[in-house]
Every structure is written in structure tokens, then in C-alpha cells.
Amino acid sequence: MNILFLSSQNEDIRYLKEKLINLGNNVFELPLTENFYRIISSIKNNKIDIIHIFEKEVSFVVKLYCKIFKLPILKTKVENIRKLEINGKVLDLYEDGGINLLEKIYSQKIVQTRKYDIPVLMYHRIIDKEEDKGCCYTYTLLENFEKQMYYLKKNNFTVITFKDLEKINYRNRFEKGKKYVIITFDDGYEDNYRLAFPILKKLDFKAVIYLVTRELNNKWDIDEHGENKFSLMTVEMIKEMHDYGIEFGGHTLNHIRFPNIDPNETKRQILESKKDIETLLNERLISFAYPYGLATETAKEMVKKSGYKYAVTTSFGSECFSDDLFYIRRVAIFPKNKIIHFRRKVSGKYNFISINRENKNK
């Protein structure tokens, strides 16, 4: 994030500035007494994402500028050398996690003001035959998928993986002029290789595929719903896609439901599936997908301890990506989604729409 401090430049602020920079943020500072022209120039030149004001107010002109250009302002009181008062609550900067919590508050303010965060799209199967639809509606027609990918290309989206996100630092996902999107596929179906992969290669796109490692087909859906049998990818397919740049992540051994199993089995499903893929690819995995989007606290803790950096759900979680990096909400792409629906789903605003709808239906 690019953060602008408007402060009295005391010891408290220097400590905070140093800690935020160490986490990968860019922090700029001006005195509270600076005129509005210098402040607005700094905002423009440094591509500021959020302004943090200490103690006093900014001028009406700066407030108006921020309102027009959807630039959030966080105003806090400094209680002493270590504490900030934010919205009536005291945040201790010297406590474990204090700076990280402030970072989350920054991200929440940016996301809420812009009504935007990076969309993480969720696909399962890609099909080109009527008989492959099945009964679970976890498919996307090939012609629709191709149109969706070309929409991203035509509209200058930057398609990244979680490994790419790790390189640019998720704190910098608000970069001006960038429209990031992450494409994910669950389970590892053979059609991901046969139908989706050629399109991704043609457009120079990457994706993240979450593999079920100890099944040959969608046995979980066959047993539970009487679904048609659909094969998963072979080792050779996985290696070829990996060599191109497709990222792979964990999705358990057998596509289980975490709320239905005990802690020992939870541990086995997470650790052994991770080992299966890492041994195959000779590479550390950094992202995991909870089957059915269902995460327990035990599962979340085990995912963290196993070395993953990120974990995704389905339609659960916050509209703000960084609220919980182990409970990231995705945007599901459904069979009937046309370009008009897809455009809204990749706008970065869709999670707000979805969560508002869910709250109204409670």
C-alpha cells in the first residue's frame, strides 16, 4: 500500500512508519501544517491509496479531493508513545499483531471506499458436450469460458496466480491502473487440461488448480449425488501444465468435508495431499482450497502450520481479500453466466453485491 501520513512527526509516528515499511508498504509523510496544494501533489505523485491523519483535520479542499477520487482517510488520536485510538478503540502498536491489525484496517478502508478488491474466480469443469453437464452444475461451457477469457484479455486484466501475488505483495494489489484477477479451478479435472489449458496458453494466461490427490475421478459427487463419472488429470498432464506456469494447490486427498471428520483425519488430509503434490512437482505449495468451501478452525490452523500462505473458500468470507488470508472468498462462475454476468463478477465489486444479498435474505 501507498500510505500518506499527515502528522506532527513525533517518535510514535517514526516507529509506526518503520514497521509498515518493513512489511512492504510505502509510507510518505507531510507535516499537518502543510498547505493543501502540497498534500494533493503528494497524493498524485506517490499514487497514494490511503491517508492517515494524526490528531487534526485536513482542509476542506483535501477532503473534497479525496471524496471525488474515492481516497479513504483514517483519522486517529495518539494516546502515548505506543497507542492509537481508532473509532473509539485503542490499538497498541507494540503488541504482537498490532501493526498487522492496523494494516487490515487500512485495507478495509480502501476496499470499503472504492467498493473494490481483487476478484478470485472459481471454476470446476469445462465442457464441450451436452452429455458432460451432469447433475451438480459444476461446469462451464467451453464457448462461454473462451468468451470470458477473451473479455479479460480485451479489457486489459492482469491474470496472476498466488505465487505472482506473493512476488508483488498482496498489499500492493490496489496499484493504480492494474486490474488483477486470479483464475482458479477446483478438483483437477481432465477437461481443465484438454479444453481450458489451450485457451489459457493462447492468451498467455495462468491459473491455479486445486488437486484432489488420491482419487482418479469425482467419486465424492458420484457417491453423494449419483453424478456422472468425470476423470481427473494424469500425472503427465499436471507436469506439462506446471512447466508452462500453471500453479497447483492442495484440495485434500479425497475431497472430504472438514466439519465431518476428526482432527487427526483433518491433519492427514491436509499434510499428505500437500506432500503428494510437492513431491510430484518438486516445489512448495502456497495456496489451499477447502472442499465445498467448508473450513473449521482446526483445518485453518493446520493449513497455516503446514506452510500454506493462502487458503480459499467458495462463497464464504469477507469482501476484503486481506481480512483473513486463510479464508478468502471466491466468485463462482456458473453454467448460465453470460458475458454480462461475467463482467459484473470480475469488476471487483461483486462480493459487495453478493454479501448484501445474503444479509437481506437472513
Q: Is the pLDDT score of 330 beyond 90? A: yes
340 and 281 together in one domain = yes
Last residue of a domain, one of 70, 97, 114: 114
CATH number of the structural domain spanning residue 34 = 3.40.50.880
138 and 87 together in one domain = no
149 and 192 together in one domain = yes
Four-CA torsion 345, 167, 321, 108, nearest 10 degrees: -120
Tell me which residue has cell 465431518: 260
47 and 165 together in one domain = no
198 and 227 together in one domain = yes
Query: How buried is residue 96: exposed, middle or buried, by Cβ count under 10 Å (0-12/13-18/19+)?
Result: exposed
110 and 124 together in one domain = no
Question: Quick one: pLDDT at residue 13?
Answer: 80
80 and 129 together in one domain = no
In order of 33, 137, 143, 228, the CA distances from 133 in angstroms are: 65, 7, 14, 9
Helix (H) or strand (E) segment spanning residue 83: strand 83-86
178 and 273 together in one domain = yes
Tell me which residue has cell 478468502: 328
CATH number of the structural domain spanning residue 267 = 3.20.20.370
Q: Domain residues for 23?
A: 2-114
Q: Average pLDDT over the chain, rounded to whole?
A: 93
Q: Is the pLDDT score of 10 beyond 70? A: no
301 and 319 together in one domain = yes
Q: Is the pLDDT score of 164 beyond 90? A: yes
Q: Is the pLDDT score of 58 beyond 90? A: no
The answer to which of 2-11, 145-154, 192-201 has the lowest mean pLDDT is 2-11
13-42: per-residue pLDDT in tens? 888 889 999 999 999 999 888 889 999 999
Mean pLDDT on 332-360: 91
Last residue of a domain, one of 114, 140, 159: 114
Question: Quick one: pLDDT at residue 9?
Answer: 63
Mean pLDDT on 161-186: 94
Query: What total of structural domains would you count in the chain?
Result: 2
Question: Quick one: pLDDT at residue 312?
Answer: 98
Question: Quick one: pLDDT at residue 175?
Answer: 86
- Under the banding of pLDDT at 50, 70 and 90, the label for residue 73 is very high
Tell me the CB-side half-sphere exposure of residue 270, using CA atoms within 13 A. Answer: 28
281-316: per-residue pLDDT in tens? 999 999 999 999 999 999 999 999 999 999 999 989
76 and 130 together in one domain = no
